[in-house]
Structure 1
Amino acid sequence: MVTPCSPPIGWKRQQRAGAGTAMNNLIDGPYRAIAAAAILSAVMAVPAAAGRAVPNVSDAASHDAVVADLISHRAVFDMKLTDSKASSSIAGLNGRMVFETIGSTCDGFTINFRFVTQVEDSQGNSRLTDMRTTTFEDASGERFEFLTQTYIDEKLVEESKGSAVRDGETTTVRLDKPEKKTFTIGKRILFPTQHLVAMLSAARSGEAFLPANIYDGSETGEKIFPTATTIGKRIDGPDTLDAKAADADMSKLPRWPVTVGYFEPVSTGGEALPTYEMSFLLYGNGISRDVKIDYGDFSVAGKLVNLEIHDVPGCSADKAGAQ
């Protein structure tokens, strides 16, 4: 899957008319978590030049090594409810998540993400939620384009579309939807796939903690989402995999248990608790499995049921020389 980014971030919003908060959280969270760690499905490579925006990672050589090992792919996860407290009002949940990444370090990278869930509450009411996201990050790591749509019971209820261009520490965002608007972000941020590379770079360097501010254009396209990633000890040696992961020759790859906490953007000080956490096993090639999203009062798990590795041509000599 992708961490992440990816995702997809996750936060609580005010209740929509006739909708439970827990159901709204399920709509809002998944992509950011996934894209953030590429984490639910499995993510792709990110341009080496993007290293300028990666916090707390080692050197450029480490970053380039991470990028070289990442692969383009399409991952499918079956999602199910694993735990639900009475306060959540969720009685049942099932769905499917699809994450696809295609690209190269010369041409840039496209992520297609879709997350469809059927949720039933304690009163027997059900809701079909369909979240669709397409993003593009150019090979320099300086331009990000996004389109995110959320459907509830086949009706479009939320859409954001726009682009972000980085110039040093400042990022300029131009929104087309939900309304035309231009604004600047004056702090250090990562785009979703850059976050994946930052996590793998940190993991390879033995770092156990990685804070990062993520911008993915979701919701209204105006929010930056603080995250905190905890990375466990590296695992080597043969791994017991399901058939799809085994087909990708992942059994001997290094891997790390990872947990990413997603926080509501706040202006006040003090210690904050994550709105939700995503945990998964992250492999050295950017693919993840054993995915779990914990929203506090309920949690869902994803099982990898299909994995396709894309054969994407590498950089030509002309393109590589132009980088």
Structure 2
Amino acid sequence: MKLSVFALLATLAPLPALAANGSATDLASQLTGQHAVYTLGLSKLRTHDITGATGQMSFNVVDGCTGWATTQHMTLIIRNVDGSLSKSVSDYVTWESKDGKTFSFKLTEHDDSGKEKIDDAGVATHTSSNDGGIIKYTTPANTELKLPPGTLFPMQHTEALLAAGRARKTFISPLLFDGTTADGAQATFVTILGHHVPEKTKWAALDKYASTDVDIAFFERKHDDETPDFRTSMRYYENGVATGLVLDFGDFVMTGKLTSLTIPPSACPVSKAP
């Protein structure tokens, strides 16, 4: 199960060319820091093994001026067919430099007893102009994998899909490395479902931003399976906030309702035009 749903939120860094998948260059980013909380509810079951699910997810983005620090905390409680409850708690912490060169990551999970297990951790680096590079894992220990050319880090990936929405594209399919598996880069297929001009919303902080509806499917590159490993859809605003989440875990589907949103002021100096 891919628990790091929000490995897709964005950075202000200008993107290198995205080959045939489109480019985010020449488009000024409006992305900001954020603190968002979502209430998760069950919307569909595809198995008889469970009878219910609920949860909560909090997501924080901090503008570190030279990079973006993100933290995600998610709790899922699943009711099994025998009436017992299973609890899953995951924490996902990343740092992505605004120059697009470095991405550090750590994904941990806690079992029902509260014992912590580090699933994946390490540092990935873009070492070439075509976004190729290397991943050095500390968990699993002593593991190194190559980043194929064209691989985007999470913030770059989100900026790319927002750029695709602004350009009225119908889809993009960049590779992504977000640090949530030990298998390296994943294939993604992003369908652009619609683009919206700014409009009044429940959240005043979003009223001035355009938004894009997307459906994102994640695939393991080592298999030729047409069934995605994980799938999510949402409305992304140009400042990086997501609403209307749909999280498809395969056996069940959950929706995420934004219940709290804070946009902190930036502490970074504003660059002046020459």
With normalisation by structure 1, the TM-score equals: 0.77
Pair 1:144 & 2:103 matched: yes
Where does 1:282-321 land on structure 2 (aligned, <5 Å)? Answer: 282-315=236-269
For 1:96, the equivalent position in structure 2 comes to 56
The SS at the match of 1:52 is: coil
Counterpart code for 2:3: P
Q: Pairwise CA RMSD of aligned residues?
A: 2.2
Cα deviation digits, residues 177-218 of structure 1 (max 9, x gap):
231233322332111111110011111011110101111122
The SS at the match of 1:46 is: coil
* Deviation of 1:88 (Å): 4.9
CA distance 1:79–1:174, shift in 2 (3 Å): same
Residue pair 2:2, 2:180 contacting (<8 A) in 1 also? no
Is the strand fraction higher in 1 or 2? Answer: 2
Separation of aligned partners in 2, 1:237 and 1:136: 30
* Deviation of 1:287 (Å): 1.0
The SS at the match of 1:83 is: strand
For 1:192, the equivalent position in structure 2 comes to 154
Cα deviation digits, residues 94-130 of structure 1 (max 9, x gap):
11101111115x4111011111111111111211111
CA distance 1:117–1:289, shift in 2 (3 Å): same
For 1:21, the equivalent position in structure 2 comes to none
Separation of aligned partners in 2, 1:273 and 1:57: 24
* Deviation of 1:317 (Å): 5.3
Cα deviation digits, residues 292-320 of structure 1 (max 9, x gap):
112344210111111111112234659x9
With normalisation by structure 2, the TM-score equals: 0.90
Bigger drift between 250-259 and 133-142 goes to: 250-259
CA distance 1:223–1:123, shift in 2 (3 Å): farther
The SS at the match of 1:198 is: helix
Q: Find 2:12's aligned residue among 25, 31, 46.
A: 46
Is the helix fraction higher in 1 or 2? Answer: 1
For 2:25, the equivalent position in structure 1 comes to 60
Separation of aligned partners in 1, 2:168 and 2:36: 27
CA distance 1:112–1:53, shift in 2 (3 Å): farther
Separation of aligned partners in 1, 2:66 and 2:230: 34
For 2:39, the equivalent position in structure 1 comes to 78
Separation of aligned partners in 2, 1:91 and 1:53: 46
For 1:266, the equivalent position in structure 2 comes to 222
The SS at the match of 2:56 is: strand
Where does 1:170-181 land on structure 2 (aligned, <5 Å)? Answer: 170-181=132-143
Identity %: 23
For 2:127, the equivalent position in structure 1 comes to 167
CA distance 1:128–1:267, shift in 2 (3 Å): closer
Separation of aligned partners in 1, 2:111 and 2:57: 16
Counterpart code for 1:103: D
Any stretches of 5+ residues in structure 1 without a counterpart? 1-27, 39-43
CA distance 1:88–1:47, shift in 2 (3 Å): farther
Residue pair 1:77, 1:97 contacting (<8 A) in 2 also? yes
For 1:109, the equivalent position in structure 2 comes to 68
CA distance 1:259–1:118, shift in 2 (3 Å): same
Counterpart code for 1:61: D
Separation of aligned partners in 1, 2:143 and 2:229: 28
Residue pair 1:191, 1:215 contacting (<8 A) in 2 also? yes
Residue pair 1:53, 1:190 contacting (<8 A) in 2 also? no
